Structure 1
Amino acid sequence: MLHDLHTARERIRQGETSAADELEAALSAAKSEACKGSFLKLHEASARAAAASAANRERPLAGLAVSVKDLFDIAGDTTAAGSAVLADAPPAVTDSPAVARLRAAGAAIIGRTNMTEFAFSGVGVNPHHGTPWNPADPATHRVPGGSSSGAAVSVATGAAYIGLGSDTGGSIRTPAALCGIVGFKNTARLVPLDGALPLSTTLDTVCAMTRSVRDAILAHEILAARTVTRSNAPLSAYRFAVAREQMLDGLDPTVARAFERAVRAFRDAGAHVEEIPLAQIHGLGAIQSLGGFTAAESFAWHRKLLAEKGAGYDPRVRARIERGAAMKAHEYIELFAARREWIRSVQQSLQGFDAVLSPTVPIVAPPFADVAPGEARDAEFFRINALLLRNTSVVNMLDGCAISLPCHVPGELPVGLMIWHGALRDDTILNIASQAESALLAH
């Protein structure tokens, strides 16, 4: 089992290893067959320099490997967002704030990771650069989830301790769930979006994947430039809701078993867990029937590029972006009003609950062959994409925060437990997750 960043940092302090040795192990993992297709570019020289300089300073990330999704500006690199049409774009002049904060904390930026083109899918398929192999199943090429596909695989294979990514409808939590790692989506406003190519300016969130909750807390504190208020309150001190409507529909048998075990672990720990309808979730379909914020806002950004280089786009991504062309100004404005009312209604239903428990995604990672590029598989691709983002996207529309924790047992494909609530509940969610991580392991 891979150790987390905190363990690596302690081993460095104890003289059992060094940042340089840890980095060489990470680079070896990044070049391994298990990580094939996960990195678009490795930054070996600068990462080694960062690891070497960490020996003389005590910084939170201690010169350890961090991967960066191809969505973020890194000074001197072209930010192509997994596309072919931006491959010849000029390189970034400066680091994005997220990258700069990680670097200042001592990160060894190991490289740029593969992703769904322009971050517009939860599956992780990329026809230009290939689709990384989900490391959870060496025998079958299963999708890693997206859009932060390469970031997830980099963390799950040992190539990075933190995978910087983004989450617009689930692009951190979905791949974390499918690859068996931790993914935390903070309240969107807490981390700057500057220097990240936008998908939806309303829903985009800058966040990360890690191997443990304590690493997730550290990554969030660095990215958000804030300190999480810690609490050691046990699970028995909290009140949880389980949303029945939609969130539990059509669960894969492996997911259903894992989620049932997770809820039982919470109850065995003394937590109060109550099923509620939360029927408002069904209303999201009508609110977003014209494509929602993502279609409208992505089309506004891509309109000129589509006119010039539309033939070079992934056809599945292009089709979703072009839905935004039909949205009228009054419909876009009305969408904001509908969202505000929907958030108010959901918050009212969740009064008295500290968090909600749901499966992160209702299915385990599907085989790549089912969704590989090609018109013959488009219908299945869009069906699976909708399933992979069905539960997670609720939190984005809520402007909320959520974490996905592994809740499967050995021998099962990975399953994620999502713990979530509304805006600015980040510290509560992280503190609950710390207790839940231990309870799930013990159970």
Structure 2
Amino acid sequence: MKPDLIATRQAIQQGLTTSAQVAEECLALAQSAACESVFLQLTPDSLRATATQVGIHNSPLAGLPVSIKDLFDVQGQVTAAGSVVLAQAPAAKRDSAAVSRLRQAGAGLIGRTNMVEFAFSGVGNNPHHGTPKAWDALADRPAGSDPAGHVPGGSSSGAAVSVATGAAFIGLGSDTGGSIRIPAALNGLVGFKNTARRVPTLGALPLSTTLDTVCAMTRSVRDTILAHEILSARQVPASSRPLGSYRLAIARCVMQNDMDSTVEKAFERSLQTLRAAGAQIVELPLTELEELSAMMATGGFSPSESYAWHRHLLDSSAAQYDPRVSARILRGANMRAHEYMDLVQARTQWIARMQKTLETCDAVLSPTTPIAAPLRSSVAPGAERDAEFFRVNGLLLRNTSAVNTLDGCAISLPCHQPGELPVGLMAWHGPMHDDTILQLALVLEDTLRGLH
């Protein structure tokens, strides 16, 4: 893995390199085969202009490259959300709130990253612009890897690969059902989903106004904390709590069902490592998680809220949509007003019950996804592979989406060993526990570092 942002910023401040030199190195990576289908637009002039500003090395982000998911407004650029339907839309008149905060912190914007069309899938496919390869783009990929490559996870697919390959230090993205944590897990990165209200969504094209969360992926927890502080305009308190002072729970329930052997091995090994280091790990039934399937039986928030936004575009341009995306959006057309209101109320009551149960622990540990990344060829566009695509999509989203329904916060950390497919360990809790999750993540990362 490439050096993280904080280490690179320190090297710049020590005179070992410059922001301009790092910018050129990242641009070269962004244009290499490793980043095929990763960027929809590169902005080298903007990046170079930022990297050569006087005193930029003293800013929090030191002019270092940050990638922007094609979901966010950047002044003068078209926000197409990975689609062709919006390709001719007017350019944004101003930056989104998240992009504005990153600029103010000294980010160099390297370009717009590819994504699942309209952010509606956890797999990472895009039939219009191509699908990035996940960890296969890395030089240290496992021996015998299939040259077709594995899916990058979605919807923030390009954002993840831009960070994993070293083209960017922070990948700005969104997480409505796992769109940061899934690609983080499948690319060996750190992905943090903050409590949604922590970061404004202004200037980001919506999927679900109830669940959308603005957040980022990085190569280390300390970089994640820095990115969160910038995006949320708040400080995360420092903590000296040792691992043994945290009460960690594991839920032997739906979140551990259907694990493939790669994930099961990495997850159980991680728990053993943490226990050996003194972690308090208890089992928590969390039977409330079993209620989610019935609660979402009428379609859930994402289909209904996305249909409200897309209905006019679908009337005129349905044929231009990825059919797998339009099929999910159109599920929302049949939700009745009383069903939506019932869902809102049921979620509120469910969150209250979950918060009561979670009072007994500092965090829950789960696999981020129950399966490792499947081959791109197995879920490529084509009606004959639709059934497999939707099966994989459901599995990838299952664990992460529960946290969005909870209005909670969660972080995915790499927990695989060299030569294994990347696997993510997710630490999570309810709303407004962001600081505890981030403080714990530093300790977990340090304890698990020997595994990968």
* TM tier relative to shorter chain: over 0.9
Structure 2 CA distance for aligned equivalents of residues 40 and 56 of structure 1: 26
Matched residue SS, 1:155? helix
Aligned residue number for residue 15 of structure 1: 15
Q: CA deviation at 1:341?
A: 1.1
Aligned residue number for residue 351 of structure 2: 343
Correspondence 1:399 to 2:435 = no
Counterpart among 239, 242, 246 of residue 238 in structure 1: 246
Correspondence 1:375 to 2:383 = yes
Is 2:306–2:332's contact at 8 Å kept on the other side of the alignment? yes
Counterpart among 142, 164, 167 of residue 150 in structure 2: 142
Q: 1:435 to 1:43 in 2, by over 3 A?
A: same
Aligned residue number for residue 183 of structure 1: 191
Q: CA deviation at 1:442?
A: 3.5
Aligned residue number for residue 94 of structure 2: 94
Is 1:187–1:423's contact at 8 Å kept on the other side of the alignment? yes
In the TM superposition, structure 1's runs of 4+ consecutive aligned residues that sit over 2 Å from their partners are: 54-57, 135-140
One-letter amino acid of the counterpart of residue 93, structure 2:
V
Correspondence 1:366 to 2:341 = no
1:175-228, CA deviations, whole angstroms, 9 ceiling, x for partnerless residues?
000000000000000000010000000000000000000000000000000000
Scaled by the length of structure 1, the TM-score of the pair is: 0.99
One-letter amino acid of the counterpart of residue 59, structure 2:
R
Most deviating of 429-438 and 281-290:
281-290
Correspondence 1:264 to 2:272 = yes
Correspondence 1:408 to 2:416 = yes
Aligned residue number for residue 71 of structure 2: 71
One-letter amino acid of the counterpart of residue 364, structure 1:
A
Q: CA deviation at 1:56?
A: 4.9
Structure 1 CA distance for aligned equivalents of residues 411 and 328 of structure 2: 27
Correspondence 1:295 to 2:294 = no
Aligned residue number for residue 273 of structure 1: 281
Structure 1 CA distance for aligned equivalents of residues 317 and 113 of structure 2: 23
Is 2:67–2:170's contact at 8 Å kept on the other side of the alignment? yes
Is 1:54–1:106's contact at 8 Å kept on the other side of the alignment? no
1:145-168, CA deviations, whole angstroms, 9 ceiling, x for partnerless residues?
000000000000000000000000
Q: CA deviation at 1:351?
A: 1.6
One-letter amino acid of the counterpart of residue 119, structure 2:
A
Most deviating of 111-120 and 283-292:
283-292
Matched residue SS, 1:112? strand
Is 2:56–2:106's contact at 8 Å kept on the other side of the alignment? no
Correspondence 1:307 to 2:309 = no
Structure 2 CA distance for aligned equivalents of residues 237 and 326 of structure 1: 49
Aligned residue number for residue 427 of structure 1: 435
Between the two proteins, the alignment pairs up a number of residues equal to 443
1:71-118, CA deviations, whole angstroms, 9 ceiling, x for partnerless residues?
000000000000010000000000001000001100000000000000
Structure 1 CA distance for aligned equivalents of residues 240 and 171 of structure 2: 27
Counterpart among 433, 437, 440 of residue 445 in structure 2: 437
Aligned residue number for residue 221 of structure 2: 213
Scaled by the length of structure 2, the TM-score of the pair is: 0.97
Correspondence 1:53 to 2:53 = yes
Matched residue SS, 1:247? helix
Q: CA deviation at 1:140?
A: 3.8
Q: 1:56 to 1:300 in 2, by over 3 A?
A: closer
Most deviating of 57-66 and 177-186:
57-66
Query: Unaligned stretches of 5+ in structure 2?
Result: none
One-letter amino acid of the counterpart of residue 195, structure 2:
T
Aligned residue number for residue 25 of structure 2: 25
Structure 2 CA distance for aligned equivalents of residues 54 and 371 of structure 1: 48
Percentage of matched positions with identical amino acids: 62
Q: CA deviation at 1:10?
A: 0.4
Aligned residue number for residue 37 of structure 1: 37
Q: CA deviation at 1:54?
A: 5.4
Counterpart among 398, 417, 421 of residue 425 in structure 2: 417
Correspondence 1:330 to 2:338 = yes
Correspondence 1:249 to 2:257 = yes
One-letter amino acid of the counterpart of residue 66, structure 2:
V
Correspondence 1:196 to 2:204 = yes
Aligned residue number for residue 181 of structure 2: 173
Query: Unaligned stretches of 5+ in structure 1?
Result: none
Matched residue SS, 1:391? helix
Q: CA deviation at 1:135?
A: 2.6
One-letter amino acid of the counterpart of residue 309, structure 2:
W
One-letter amino acid of the counterpart of residue 95, structure 1:
D
Structure 1 CA distance for aligned equivalents of residues 38 and 53 of structure 2: 27
Structure 2 CA distance for aligned equivalents of residues 333 and 172 of structure 1: 28
Structure 1 CA distance for aligned equivalents of residues 25 and 299 of structure 2: 44
